[in-house]
Amino acid sequence: MINLFSDLHAAPMISIMMLVPAIAALFLLLPMSSRAVRVLSLCATLITALFSLPLWELFDKSTAQMQFVERIPWVDLWNLEYSVGIDGISLPLVLLTLLISPVCVLASWQGITTRLRGYYACLLLMESIMLGIFVSLNLVLFFFFWEAMLVPMYLLIGMWGSERGRVAAMKFLLFTLAGSIFMLVGIVAIFLLGGRTFDIAALSRSGLAQSAQIWLFIAFFIGFAVKVPVVPFHGWQPDAYAEAPTAATVIMAAVLAKMGTYGFLRVLFPFFPYAAQTFLEPLLVISLITILYGAYCALAQQDLKRLIAYSSLSHMGFILLGIATLSSIGIQGSIIQMISHGVITGALFLWIGTAEERFKTRMLRDFGGLSRVVPVSATVFTVLGLAATGFPGMSAFVGEFLILSSVFQGHLIIGATAIFGVVLGVVYMCWAYYRMVLFNPSSLYPQGVGDLRLREMMFFTPLVAVVLIVGVQPGILLELMRFSTDHLVMALHSVNAVTHVAGGLQ
């Protein structure tokens, strides 16, 4: 397999991978039938997913260096260049994006019936943009993709969402733009203070003064925290998740939320290591509040989609908790949890979409006895529900175990309190499962309602497979990220001496 792909190592695989869905989106501007729109979109995402094979086979797991790097001069006056590449931190998120995108196309096959070309064009553009964020090695390029994401996502929520979709889309837009303003100010400031470069690797070694790190850390933190989201920057999330069409909700929960936590690992902590350690305790507390707040809100929900939305908020708190430990084990656990959360929560939202198509409701009170009515669908929900609770042998268990292990090593009280978030997660998922699957069958079900179709099993099967494979063999991901996370942690701690010297000179 390696010999088969060896000639591709010098090819601009990352750029081609990003361009395929974008070019397909342009073709959707041409008049074509509804079936042709769907087939073209699915083919584009599947062709893009094929690039995961050479990336996986040719990726060198024994180094923390960026690989498959492409650099093209852009604006010499400002030292701008088009530069992309991947390492052990970004590759798992690239693979997650490549997995989720064709799933979203399949999930929209029958649910979307109006303005098909525009809808699928937005989905394809989102794939290109999300890949661009995870592979950017230039801060301006990173910010360009960060902002470009707003347009197709706003359209997906506002035009193809529910009746309140436009309100939810506007709230999403305003929150994200507000965070981006802080980030833009930080980018300009770090360019002036960090050697007049936008190269992410160079900025990670810039050794900014302590006072500058504090203020810039806050600016970038707000921008990333809105996207995760974390409390108190989460106001847009429940409405956007609940009112968006199924595929858009899956993208937001599975991938867009990871853009924020990826920003912590790629930009926030490497750029401002002194500030990261200064704000360590507040970050842990914010993570803990997010975990507990999301879990308690999930307990109060009657709308299944909102329940999973608040559950997602709680699990993102766990991811930030692991990152905030500034330890290799905690960060590795967080990356595994990013992948696990993306797959499990995305699959749960997909399941809700299939249930809503059949039963025309998302309210828990309208369900009951699904195991008798749609046994295959009920089985899928059972597996996903167990996975969401962190059941041993599934991917979320690995991530949560590594995160909590890292937290307990230096922050016993935080770790002990975070356990309540795990307990509450089990409570609300078991409560929903009892109401929906085991309770007496509802009399509101339509006559002759069908079970999962072949198309739906086609997008559930790979997601469930990833949950089980990573749960049983977490080394598959740990081998990818180990050197990169170790390098990041070493850089965070070793740069302190340089930072102190720079602060003293100021």
DSSP output for 312-337? HHHHHHHHHHHHHTTSHHHHHHHHHH
The DSSP code for 8 is G
Confirm whether 422 is domain-assigned: yes
Contact call for residues 208 and 272 (beta carbons, < 8 A): yes
Q: What is the pTM of this model?
A: 0.92
Report residue 170 as tokens.
């506007």
Q: Answer yes or no: is 72 within a domain.
A: no
What secondary structure letter does DSSP report for 73? E
Residue 153: the pLDDT is 94
Residue 421 domain-assigned (yes or no): yes
Around 299, how many Cα atoms within 13 Å sit in the side-chain half-sphere?
Answer: 12
Is 129 within a domain?
A: no
Fill in the amino acid letter for 417: T
In a domain, 152, yes or no: no
Residue 32 has φ and ψ, to the nearest 5°, of: -160, 165
- pLDDT at res. 497: 44
Copy the structure tokens of residue 402: 């590594």
Tell me how far apart the alpha carbons of residues 22 and 65 are, in angstroms, rounded to a whole number.
28
Q: How many domains is the chain partitioned into structurally?
A: 1
Query: 27 and 40 in contact (C-beta within 8 Å)?
Result: yes
> How many CA within 13 A on the CB side of residue 155?
16
Residue 383 lies inside a defined structural domain of this protein: yes
Residue 381 lies in a domain: yes
Question: Could you tell me if 21 and 45 are in contact, meaning their C-beta atoms sit under 8 angstroms apart?
Answer: yes
Q: List 292's β-bridge partners, or say none.
A: none
Residues 463 and 347: beta-carbon distance below 8 Å: yes
Per-residue model confidence as pLDDT tens for the chain (506 residues): 555 555 555 568 899 999 999 999 999 988 888 899 999 999 999 999 998 888 888 898 888 899 999 998 887 777 788 999 999 999 999 999 999 999 999 998 888 888 899 999 999 999 999 999 999 999 999 999 999 999 999 999 999 988 888 999 999 999 999 999 999 999 999 988 877 888 898 888 887 888 889 999 999 999 999 998 898 888 899 999 999 999 999 999 999 999 999 999 999 999 999 999 999 999 999 999 999 999 999 998 989 999 999 999 999 999 999 999 999 999 999 999 999 999 999 999 999 999 888 888 888 888 878 888 888 988 999 999 999 998 999 999 999 999 999 999 888 999 999 999 999 999 999 888 888 877 766 556 777 778 888 888 998 999 999 999 999 999 999 999 999 999 999 888 775 544 444 444 34
* C-beta of residue 129 within 8 angstroms of C-beta of residue 155: no
* Domain of 453, in residue numbers: 279-472
In a domain, 118, yes or no: no
| Residue reference for tokens 């602060």 | 503
Listed residue (385, 364, 376) closest to 444, CA to CA: 364
CA 267, CA 271: separation in Å to the nearest integer?
Answer: 6
